[in-house]
Amino acid sequence: MTLRVRRVRQDEIEWVNKKYDEVGFPHSSFSDEFIAIAELDNEKAGIGRLIPIDDKNAEMGGMYVFENYRNKGIASKIIEFLLQNSNKFERIYCLPFENLEEYYGKFGFKITPVEDYKNVPKKILEKLEWCNRSFDKKVLLLCLKP
């Protein structure tokens, strides 16, 4: 079993966005985002992305491991790859479903206290609101300071 994570090529962006359509996630933009794809034995198995918000902040999101490939450590490898490519940012925000708080905690993400929301970029807070309106599961605001 060979697992490889790499950056998505520009000619794959349409495929990425079709995959995001399957789960109701916003589309990606190749020119603005760092998008990762995991391949297990040369088969596409999952995707994730790092979206710059400004010079200091980014959002890690769009984590989607395809059904047939779950529980094989693929999401962890995508997260590790994205974090390895995030060193120019002071803070990485993540908006996972509530049941994934402990999972993201293994990578150093911590829940953002409400009193700290005044320091969170407006774009992240707007996306948090959108997520909590759009999905049945509660979405949390987590932050990592690498």
Please state the rounded mean pLDDT for residues 41-65.
Answer: 96
pLDDT tens track for 89-133: 999 999 999 999 999 999 999 999 988 899 999 999 999 999 999
pLDDT tens track for 39-48: 999 999 999 9
DSSP string covering 102-141: HHHHTTT-EEPPGGGGGGS-HHHHHHHHHHHHH-SS-B--
Domain definitions of the chain by residue range: 3-144
pLDDT of residue 114: 85
84 three-state secondary structure: helix
pLDDT at 25 over 80: yes
pLDDT at 134 over 80: yes
Mean residue pLDDT of the chain comes to: 95
pLDDT of residue 146: 66
Q: How many CB atoms lie within 10 A of CB 86?
A: 17
Cβ-contact 4, 44 below 8 angstroms: no
pTM: 0.93
- Domain formed by 3-144, architecture: 3-Layer(aba) Sandwich (3.40)
| Closest listed residue to residue 22, CA positions, set 46, 56, 49, 58 | 46
Please state the rounded mean pLDDT for residues 63-89.
Answer: 95
pLDDT of residue 9: 97
pLDDT at 12 over 80: yes
